[in-house]
Structures are given as C-alpha cells and as structure tokens.
Structure 1
C-alpha cells in the first residue's frame, strides 16, 4: 500500500475488565474475530473500560490484555493473530467526579455517579476507549483535551441557568460551568508514524444526543463535542490541551478522524452536527464512506449500528474520515447480509456489538 495504512473503528459495546484480562470471553472472542478478518493497522476500540482508572488488574492495561488474550490468538482456522506493539489507553472523564461535589443532573443529590460525573459512568474509566497500532506512536506528540472546559468554546450551546433554559430540564449553574468539561470521554490527537510520514489519529466518543429531556442537554453536548475536532483541524486558537499548549492542528497536517461520533448525517436531529461539521466540511473527506450488505438489506448501506430486529433502527454514526490530502482506496463496514453470511461471520457480528466495525485503506 506504499505509505498507506488500514484504519478501523469498532464500538465493542461495554467491553469490561474481567472480560479481556483473561481468555475465554464470548464477546471478546467475537470482536477479535471481526478485527482479524479486517486486519487493520490502526484500531480504536470504543467502550473498552480503562482498568487503570477503575483500579482493577493494574499491571496490564485492558487494551494490552485484549491484544494478548484475543487479538494475537487466531479466532478461526482461516485466521491469523495480530500483534499490536503500540497501544494507547487514555484516561476518560466517564465516572470521574469533580473535587468539589456538584449536582450536575439536578436530582437533588450532589457528588453521585453516574449523573454527577464529568462523563456518564458507574465508575472511573467506564465506557472509555483505547487505540492499538502496528505503526509507531509519537508519544511525545500526543495531545489530550480531557480537561478542556465546555464554557471555553466560543459560541457554545451549553444550557446555563437563567439563560432562557427550562428549569425542568438539565442545565448547569454558573458555578458548575467553571468546572464542567466538554469531552464526555476524552479527545485525543495521537500522531502515528506511517512509512516515515506523520498522520494524526483524532479519537473521541461524544455523548449520545438522547436521554436528556427538556433543553436537549445531551444533544447540545454532542453537537459541541463533534464540533471540537472540526475546530481543531481548522486551527482555531481558543483550543488548549491538558498540558496547557494552545492552538489547533497545523495547516499542513495529515489526519484521520476515527470513532463512534454518535452523530448521523440524516438530519433527524435538529442540531445536525454530523452534517455541519463532518459532511459539509471540506476539512474531512466523506465522498467514499464504508458500506455493507447488511446495512443495505435494512435500507441504509452506510449504516454502522443496528438498534433492533430486521425492521429496527439503523444509523450511520461510526466514522473513518481522512484529511483532504489523503485518499481513501477502499472501505467497508463488517456486516454480512442474512443470505450471504461468509464463514458464519454474522453470528460473531451480532455477539460482539450492536455497532459494526468500519475500516478504510488510506494513503497519501
């Protein structure tokens, strides 16, 4: 592939510590089988618990355990294991409570998980994500934006008490806006060295734009989380990282946005962040998107998540989107149709997650 690489995003729904720290878990085996079918060079796994934050099995990060116990072990006779020598398991805002007690979810009880954490989680590191790479990671160049405050984004949609928001809905007080973080998990810029060239892997997992009632709190939050990386690749100066360095990405940088953005491009949500910040944004290439027979069978060949039975909701919310200087040579979502299930893959697809792994071959 020359200077190219295969990038993949997979939301393996709520894959927890006890599942990956030892072999034999059915869901982890199914997820590993799907990854081995695709053999990506760079893989982001959404909803993999960060055990180092959780305080469990702290000798081995969950992403390394998943590689050792599952990805490196052939899951079918026709498959080979994959070794990922480079990994990143960033800290997540999920389940992390502020130093001072706040009642973010306005239930009358301050400082309680999951609703009063920076990001929804029953414990620190719940629903986190991690990255595995066959290419070296420039660890000194990694930028994390986990502590960036939502209120510091210009023209943000943050619902603030007394600012025309409904008191029956979710909102933040002025005091709460001083600490509330934008990222529900984290936003990470991870530079990857591919054949001597640097490609910035941009990873995030914005909150779902649902479960919030009046004020559309989560919808607003999702909108601004998706917006963040659009502003970052545009070089906006308001951005600062967790180390205090200000500014966005350089104009000549190459990058790939990967992960579950929880934002569909069909405009069914009034704020439409996917349309505004991804599909109508010349900073991301969206003209060759992953498709699948399974999605097409259900009416949307671009779908990456299946929320029910064969008549159920299908939506496109998982992405692999490169910068304009990079080219997509091939792409797909792993989702066989009901009548063309090659080698019994469909069973593992169902077992692994309600999301489908999406991948793209990208080169300069």
Structure 2
C-alpha cells in the first residue's frame, strides 16, 4: 500500500484540497450485513455491533470515494444505510428496497406452498433483506437514477426462461432482477459518470430446470443489452463503471460461466483484474482460474473460492491501480474490491 501511495503522489493524482479530484477510488463489497428480520441491522448499527464496526474499519482503511454495499439490509426510508454511511464518513447515499424478500404471489419453487422465503421475487424473509446501498463522496443525481428492477424477465431480449416451468401469470409478475439493477449518475469534476449497479441471484438452489442459473446469467446479460441499445431506453453516452456481485466466476464454480466471460471480453468494458495475496494463498485445489483474482472465500471444495465481485470501468477511463482488501475479523467471506481511476483528460 505504501508503494502504491508513493506512485500515486509521483503521478500527481492525489486529490487537491479545494480543487479538482484527480483520483477516484470506486469499490464494491458484498459485506454480508444481513439479519433475520427487519430493523435488526438498524439496531446493530445503533448499538455498534462488532461486525458493523469491523466493516467500518476496513472501509476507513481502503477509503473508497464510491462504495456499493451488497447484502446489506435496506428499509423503505433508507435509515440503516444513512446511519451506516454517516458513521463511515459518507455524505451521500442512494438506496431503495429491491426485489429480495418481496412477496411474489408465485409458488416459485413449485412445492405446493406459497408465501415462503423461497417464493419471494428473490429469496428473502422480508422486503429489503440483503439489499444494496451506494455510499458516495460525490453528489448523486438521485432524480435521474434509472431503476430497472421492475423489468420483467420475459421482456429481456434473448431471455433464458426455462420452458414450461413458469405459467403465463407467473411471467407477468416475475422481474429479471433478483435484487436490483440501477444506473446511477454522478458528476466527477463537472463531467458525468454513471454507475451500473446490480447483485445477481445465486446460480444454484434450484432443480433440473436451472431457473436460478438461467436468471443469474440473464442478470449479467442485461448490461450488454443495455449498452447495445436493445431495450426501450437508450444507454448513457457518458463514461461508466459497472459494479456488481454477479455470483458468477468466468472459469470456476456453478452457473453459465460463458456469460461472465462474455461481459469481461466486451470491448466497451475493461477488466482491471484486481487481485490479492490473501486470495492467492487460499487457493481452492483443482480450479481453472487464477486464485489471486478470487473475491469470495467459501468452503472448499464446494463452492470453493471464486471471483464473483467486479468493478469494471468503461474502456475510455484510465485505471491507475486496483486490488482486493480483506477484513482481519471473521464474519466476512467477500473481499472489498477497489479500482483507482485517473481524472478525465
């Protein structure tokens, strides 16, 4: 880290007080601050729960300017996110409850019982469980946010819906997003920058129909359709950074891995390939991918350590540095993935 800071200072990229911000650190962390009932995380933040404090310590150490938190319980008024952000030193927050835990009216797993956590629009015991929140040092243009969380899965071009599994009535209610898909605009040194934020469902916990694996892949495919202009809304012409827990490794683990590889290979996107010594030292035997790139430390051999969390800038942005930071305390299975970007020329 000391060598990295020296290189940044030598390049003249450190933010100047009162002037332009020449370096922007963008990060994602699947922080796993999710609880068993509504309001419990808010209580834990107020009571300075040890896991909450440990999360804030790592955030303070890495100090991202923009941080997408995944698997973070949200509420309708954003109280938990704002309180957590204030304690972590962030003046701006964007969050809203997504589809996790939201009642669907569908017997999603076809077990003859509706209304269970498995039957929500995305698995969850209550609306907002395991949601998303963006913490920012830059002002967020909240009135211009595009929220695609209500887009029906069947309306995605090329949707991989399992044939014969869902009824016509099911498909009229079932969104693509298991959590949310947001296009969040900000201004960086007076120029627009968009954050494409999402968290995809796990590609397991289903049957031969592979409904979760198919939905997972399509949640990542959404961004390529968006950039292609294949949906009913034109993509932004500005630079962007895609932030997501895709729950999908391009080389290992379950899921339709080719979809993740396709996103990473798209010429409109660059992959900084953030890595860490921690992940390299904990490699799962027999895997195909580079273990230094892994961002989730799960039990071996299944699912094992995987790369599932991504910070992917648009091709026109200049990447200065990147990495994956891990909390010293137990209770965090994902690393915090960060990428440093140089200011627009």
Give the TM-score normalised by structure 2.
0.85
| CA pair 275-204 structure 1, distance change in 2 beyond 3 A | closer
Pick one of 118, 122, 130 that aligns with 1:119.
122
| CA pair 19-96 structure 1, distance change in 2 beyond 3 A | closer
Q: Which residue of 2 aligns with 1:39?
A: 63
| Displacement after TM superposition at 1:232 (Å) | 1.2
Matches within 5 A, 1:73-222: 83-98=89-104, 101-110=105-114, 112-161=115-164, 171-222=165-216
2: CA distance, partners of 1:217 / 1:311: 20
1: CA distance, partners of 2:160 / 2:191: 37
1: CA distance, partners of 2:253 / 2:303: 16
Pick one of 9, 15, 37 that aligns with 2:28.
9
| Displacement after TM superposition at 1:294 (Å) | 0.5
The C-alpha deviation readout for 1:310-358, integer Å capped at 9, x for no partner, is 99811100011000111211111013xxxxxxxxx62x2x33x110101
1: CA distance, partners of 2:182 / 2:250: 23
| Displacement after TM superposition at 1:213 (Å) | 2.0
Contact 1:3/1:194 (8 A) holds in 2:
no
Structure 1: segments with no counterpart, 5+ residues = 53-57, 72-82, 162-170, 239-245, 336-344
The C-alpha deviation readout for 1:246-281, integer Å capped at 9, x for no partner, is 31313x321001131101011554622554432221
Q: Which residue of 1 aligns with 2:49?
A: 25
Q: RCO higher in 1 or 2 (8 Å CA, sep ≥ 6)?
A: 1
| CA pair 215-310 structure 1, distance change in 2 beyond 3 A | closer
2: CA distance, partners of 1:309 / 1:172: 34
Pick one of 208, 231, 234 that aligns with 1:248.
234
| Displacement after TM superposition at 1:102 (Å) | 2.4
The C-alpha deviation readout for 1:32-63, integer Å capped at 9, x for no partner, is 111111000001110111122xxxxx5x6211
Q: Secondary structure at the match of 1:265?
A: coil
2: CA distance, partners of 1:220 / 1:136: 36
Q: Is residue 214 of structure 2 the alignment partner of residue 228 of structure 1?
A: no
Contact 1:267/1:275 (8 A) holds in 2:
no
| Displacement after TM superposition at 1:135 (Å) | 0.2
Contact 2:253/2:306 (8 A) holds in 1:
no
Structure 2: segments with no counterpart, 5+ residues = 1-12, 14-20, 284-290
2: CA distance, partners of 1:41 / 1:192: 12
1: CA distance, partners of 2:259 / 2:27: 19
Contact 1:95/1:114 (8 A) holds in 2:
yes
Contact 2:186/2:193 (8 A) holds in 1:
yes
1: CA distance, partners of 2:318 / 2:154: 36
Q: Secondary structure at the match of 2:162?
A: coil
Q: Which residue of 1 aligns with 2:73?
A: 49
Q: Which residue of 1 aligns with 2:334?
A: 355
Give the TM-score normalised by structure 1.
0.81
The C-alpha deviation readout for 1:158-196, integer Å capped at 9, x for no partner, is 0131xxxxxxxxx21122111110000110000011111
| Displacement after TM superposition at 1:309 (Å) | 6.6
Q: Is residue 298 of structure 2 the alignment partner of residue 321 of structure 1?
A: no
Contact 2:148/2:180 (8 A) holds in 1:
yes
Q: Which residue of 1 aligns with 2:280?
A: 296
2: CA distance, partners of 1:3 / 1:249: 26
Contact 2:216/2:255 (8 A) holds in 1:
no
